[in-house]
Amino acid sequence: MNLVLLGAPGAGKGTQAKIIMEKYGIPQISTGDMLREAVTKGTELGKKAREYMNQGKLVPDEIVVEIVRERLSQKDCEKGFILDGFPRTIAQAEALDRILEKMGKKINAVINVNVPEEEVIKRIVYRRTCKKCGAIYHLLYNPPKKESTCDKCGGELYQREDDREETVKERFRVYRKNTEPLIDYYKKRRIFFDVDGTKDVEGVKREVLNILEKIKR
Ligand code: AMP
């Protein structure tokens, strides 16, 4: 199954991607996670991406497209993959189409996790992420048992640099301008599905898994 998760920042794409990954055994490809890792390691890629990310801007298309092209060619993507946070522009979506066409593959479903902006802002400023395993928490709705510590691996929880309120607003502006047009791009094909992302994690999960069971048939 080859999937794309769409949605505003903080809509819950990452959380659902991890659920799908565990259930179906296909990898989550999060360009945001890969870029953050590069920034932490201080690689050439990280140095290029860092400023854009900290300002809530998009990293240039050529850079992210190359990361995804390379990642999709790896063996663990043969059975399928979940793209989380990519594509984010029409140019990226077109590049993805070309990459997949060359590989003889296509996207089976684009799932749009729909949440109003006010709700998403509330989520993001309370979001904490594990430095070690990437698990995601919310200080009010899904708090860790012990403050600042990951329940799953004991790693330290932190607030993403770009999850501060001012940067979140810019990420939203960028989302509306560049990423929202992808909804129409994919609606024109018959692979687009909307889910109500205001439900709790279990509720959204149920909707997502229903869609996946349908497209598997
Ligand atoms: P995310 O974790 O998906 O919210 O991504 C965090 C940041 O990484 C974004 O605000 C961008 O600066 C950058 N980024 C992640 N994915 C992409 C993408 N597909 N295109 C451009 N920039 C991206």
Tens digit of each residue's pLDDT (9 = 90 or more) over 31-50: 999 999 999 999 999 999 99
Range 99-106 average pLDDT: 96
In a domain, 12, yes or no: yes
Instruction: Compute the distance from residue 19 Cα to the ligand 1 centre, in Å.
Output: 20
In a domain, 63, yes or no: no
Q: Are 136 and 163 in contact (CB under 8 A)?
A: no
Tens digit of each residue's pLDDT (9 = 90 or more) over 51-86: 999 999 999 999 999 999 999 999 999 999 999 999
pLDDT at 37: 93
Domain coverage including residue 187: 2-26+79-116+172-216
In a domain, 211, yes or no: yes
Q: CATH number for the domain including 208?
A: 3.40.50.300
Amino acid, res. 205: K
In a domain, 61, yes or no: no
Number of compact structural domains in the chain: 1
Question: Is 10 close to ligand 1, i.e. is its CB under 6 Å away?
Answer: no
In a domain, 147, yes or no: no
In a domain, 90, yes or no: yes
Q: Residue 42: helix, strand or coil by DSSP? A: coil
In a domain, 135, yes or no: no
**Protein residue closest via CA to atom 11 of ligand 1:** 58
